[in-house]
């Protein structure tokens, strides 16, 4: 990870500093003040305030939007730990509302219905830090270039199935090792990463030849991507805190993702769709904190309630992890 004291932009320093404070922890989705208190009592480092956990969003269908401000504020007034909230991909004005509310971090989330088919939110324009999802290294680098202070692997939210989270973590780690071992390929890697910023070219009837984006010119993005890829090559990790999310349903799942070199985990449906949310929350925190101690992970598994029913990824009508680019 980049030494944040070397960052010369004050806001960037504060954003990444806040993200680093979550390192090693568990962030829990909550839908009301009661669940927020369960999360805080269990030892969560932060909560994600939303009207429905991902399993319910998936089951209900339709367009999923930012949660109501009153609901978010109620949770903010209840808990003493940081409160995060979700905005739709590319929906800058939902993010502005959340920033004005005073949330501690915004998740530009694929769990909600994307608002912009071409661009994510220009996160550097905000003072509040952002977390964004990724399925691979290229996607992670694009979000960091846009201003994300934290990255999380997407997994497949609301399924109780950890397989996609594992897939994304393995792919991310393998690609970071690749750029570390083959430095001569950086130019090709940078070119592959930058291509999605030109998506408008692919749908226009004209040869637009995109040179400007909401995040700066293509040349400026190219230079920033080169810097980030070089940092990854040197450190074999992303320059920001990296969590895992999507499908984590048991203490063993949380320990597994921590052993995949994740800095922490997001858990939502896996806690509050279990038979005993309070015990399961405490158990997942215990397993995450002691992921390298199999006796502690066993203890956590004995503590937890019956896990939520899971879904096979192949049977899903909507793949949330495919949202974003």
Give the active site residues: 86
| Per-residue DSSP letter, 52 | S
What span, in angstroms and rounded, lies between the C-alpha atoms of 222 and 190? 7
Beta strands in 110-235 (DSSP E): 130-134, 150-153, 212-213, 216-217
CA 83 to chain centre: 14
Stated as kind and residue range, the H or E segment containing 187 is helix 186-194
CA 150 to chain centre: 7
What span, in angstroms and rounded, lies between the C-alpha atoms of 302 and 268? 20
What span, in angstroms and rounded, lies between the C-alpha atoms of 136 and 133? 9
- Per residue in 135-157, is it b (16+ CB within 10 Å) or e — as a string? bbbbbbbbbbbbbbbbbbbbbbb
Q: What share of the chain is helix, strand, coil (3-state, %, to 5)?
A: 50, 10, 35
CB atoms within 10 A of CB 275: 11
Which tokens hold the place of 86? 């979700």
52 near 34, Cβ under 8 Å? Answer: no
φ, ψ at 273 (rounded to 5°)? -105, 5
> Taking the C-alpha atoms of 143, 149, 153 and 156 in order, what is their torsion angle to the nearest 10 degrees?
-90
81 near 44, Cβ under 8 Å? Answer: yes
């Amino acid at each position: 990870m980049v030494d944040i004291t070397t960052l010369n932009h004050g806001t960037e320093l504060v954003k990444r500093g806040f993200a680093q404070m979550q390192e090693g922890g568990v962030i829990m989705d909550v839908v009301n003040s009661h669940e927020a208190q369960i999360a805080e009592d269990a030892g969560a480092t932060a909560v994600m305030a939303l009207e429905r956990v991902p399993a319910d969003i998936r089951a209900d269908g339709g367009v999923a939007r930012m949660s109501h401000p009153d609901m978010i504020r109620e949770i903010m007034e209840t808990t003493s730990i940081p409160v995060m909230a979700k905005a739709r991909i590319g929906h800058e004005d939902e993010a502005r509302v959340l920033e004005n509310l005073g949330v501690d971090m915004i998740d530009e989330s694929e769990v909600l219905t994307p608002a912009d088919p071409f661009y994510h939110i220009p996160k550097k324009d905000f003072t509040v830090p952002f977390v964004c999802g990724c399925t691979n290294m290229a996607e992670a680098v694009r979000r960091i270039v846009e201003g994300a202070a934290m990255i999380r692997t997407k997994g497949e939210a609301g399924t109780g199935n950890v397989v996609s989270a594992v897939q994304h973590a393995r792919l991310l780690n393998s690609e970071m090792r690749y750029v570390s071992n083959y430095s001569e390929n950086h130019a090709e890697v940078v070119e592959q990463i930058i291509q999605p910023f030109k998506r408008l070219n692919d749908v226009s009837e004209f040869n637009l030849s995109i040179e400007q984006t909401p995040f700066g010119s293509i040349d400026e993005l190219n230079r920033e991507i080169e810097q980030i890829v070089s940092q990854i090559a040197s450190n074999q990790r992303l320059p920001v805190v990296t969590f895992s999310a999507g499908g984590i349903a048991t203490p063993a799942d949380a320990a597994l993702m921590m052993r995949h070199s994740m800095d922490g985990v997001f858990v939502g449906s896996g806690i509050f769709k279990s038979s005993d949310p309070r015990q399961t929350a405490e158990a997942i925190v215990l397993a995450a904190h002691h992921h390298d101690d199999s006796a502690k992970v066993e203890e956590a598994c004995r503590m937890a309630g019956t896990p939520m029913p899971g879904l096979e990824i192949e049977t899903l009508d909507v793949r949330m992890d495919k949202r974003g680019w």
